[in-house]
Amino acid sequence: MIYNFDKIINRKGTCCTKWDSLEERFTRKDLISMWIADMDFKTPDFFTKALVNRIGDGVLGYGCRPNEWYESVIKWFNKRYSWKIKKENIGFVPGIVLGLCHALRCFTKPGDKVLIMPPVYFPFKNQILAAGCKVVNNKLLLVEKKTKKGIVERFEVDWTDFENKIKGCKMFILCNPHNPGGRVWSREELKKMADICLKNKVMVLSDEIHCDLYSKKHIPFATVNSKQALNTITFHAPSKTFNCAGMCASEWITTSKAIKDKFQSYLSAGDFDNAHCLAYYPAMLLYSDKGEEWLSQALSYIDGNIEFVTKFLRENFTIDGKQMVSMILPEASFLVFLNFRNLKMSQKKLVDFIINDSKLALNDGSTFGPGGEGFMRLNVGCPRAVLEKALKQLLVAFKKKFK
């Protein structure tokens, strides 16, 4: 089947966070919304038709967890990542942020230190603080690398700082692939993280929600070291992959019986792993050959959008031969971290420039923590025409203000 990702779908008026909360979050509603990490593409038709068939009997009672759900998760990870997991390794949680929230409360106590690598997905910090723990920042380094596509910017780990900061920490929350930088960490990098964590007896929570959206092969953190696998909970979901975040369905994986038993007991006691009657359908139906067919086409389209942004910035945002707005080329996901640092604006003025001059709704880079200043996060999971319109609005504002 050929899917049409150029189709523009009006999501306004559908209780849609991305489009219906603009005025509340950005003080105006005449913006092109390109912030929160969901795509403006239709979820595969075969999936939505199955949901319609399911609710056709008109009874929406409590649901139970079918064996097919476990089998689908097992097959997906084995086929795509050669990770052989078993039914007893898998648990359910309604969302990854919720999973992190509960894991922090289950395995830490107030006052414990938890390491993160900013700029990084901001709920990490929020959940650490909400659990009464202390945030320890291992700030990533922004470096330039020579590639076949020329000089590109990317984030890398400051290993000296990582080794120093992780001492005394109870837990490390890893973003793999990285959000907002789009890094797909290499096996060597992941192994080094694992060795340091084991040496310091630090448990790892690995958020791998963007792992299916790669242009560079993803490596599950728990697979790089057999000992580290027994010290890790991996969180994953079909939500970003197949644009179904509203289904509130995620899975967590650990090969440690001790961790599994403790976390499952915690979740069950609070009924935190309870699911609505449709929550198991995303994994059961989308982790399939049909799902992979849709995903392959979606990734091709997203890659085209990323190439479009790269070329547009390079050709249009220059002053005296110097590129004033650049981007970190993502190795995974539909999120692009735009670099406005050459414009020498304060973050407050940059945000105002994006909202009020460019009329765009993007994520403020500073919310991702130290190292995010001077950046804005752009969601390119949208029809090309919408992306082109957004970039042209940005260009008009740029020329008016800086040229």
219 shares its domain with 81: yes
Question: Residue 361: what pLDDT?
Answer: 98
The DSSP element (H or E) to which 206 belongs, if any, is strand 203-207
**65, part of any domain:** yes
What pLDDT does residue 215 have? 67
Residues 68 and 187 in one domain: yes
Q: Is 2 a domain residue?
A: no
Q: Say yes or no: 197 and 244 in one domain.
A: yes
> What letters, b where the CB count within 10 A reaches 16 and e where it falls short, cover 282-309?
bbbbbbbeebbebbebbbebbeebbeeb
Q: Which residue among 287, 310, 342 closes a domain?
A: 287
Alpha carbon distance 220, 204 (integer Å): 12
Cβ proximity of 211 and 199 under 8 Å: no
CA–CA dist 385, 320 (Å, integer): 29
C-alpha dist (Å) from residue 278 to 26, 32, 206: 32, 31, 26
Prediction pTM value: 0.96
Is residue 319 situated within a structural domain? yes
17: left (phi over 0), alpha (psi -120 to 50) or beta: alpha
Q: Is 84 found in the same domain as 114? A: yes
Give the number of domains in the chain.
Answer: 2
350 and 205 in a common domain: no
Residues 164 and 230 in one domain: yes
Establish if 231 belongs to a structural domain.
yes
Q: What's the rounded Cα separation, in Å, for the pair 187 and 208?
A: 15
Q: What is the model's pLDDT at position 228?
A: 84
pLDDT of residue 229: 87
User: What local confidence, expressed as pLDDT, does residue 302 receive?
Assistant: 97
Q: What is the pLDDT of residue 146?
A: 76
Domain that holds residue 209: 58-287
Residue 312 shares a structural domain with residue 172? no
- CATH, residue 354: 3.90.1150.10
The residue among 242, 258, 287 that closes a domain is 287
Question: 249 and 338 share a domain?
Answer: no
Across the chain, which has 403 residues, the per-10-residue mean pLDDT values are 96 96 97 97 96 93 96 97 97 98 98 98 98 98 81 93 98 98 96 96 97 89 91 97 97 97 98 96 98 97 97 95 94 96 97 98 98 98 98 98 87
- pLDDT for the residue numbered 214: 85
108 and 222 co-located in one domain = yes
Residue 398 has a pLDDT of 98
pLDDT given at position 56: 93
Residue 222 lies in a domain: yes
Predicted pLDDT of residue 147: 73
In this structure, the number of other CB atoms found within 10 A of the CB of residue 374 comes to: 19
CATH number of the domain bearing residue 171:
3.40.640.10
Does residue 138 fall inside a structural domain? Answer: yes
Same domain, 216 and 281: yes
The verdict on residue 268 lying in a domain is yes
Residue 10 maps to a domain: no
Domain match, 198 and 340 both: no
Q: Which of 256, 271, 287 delimits the end of a domain?
A: 287
Q: Are 36 and 122 in contact (CB under 8 A)?
A: no
Are residues 334 and 372 both part of a single domain? yes
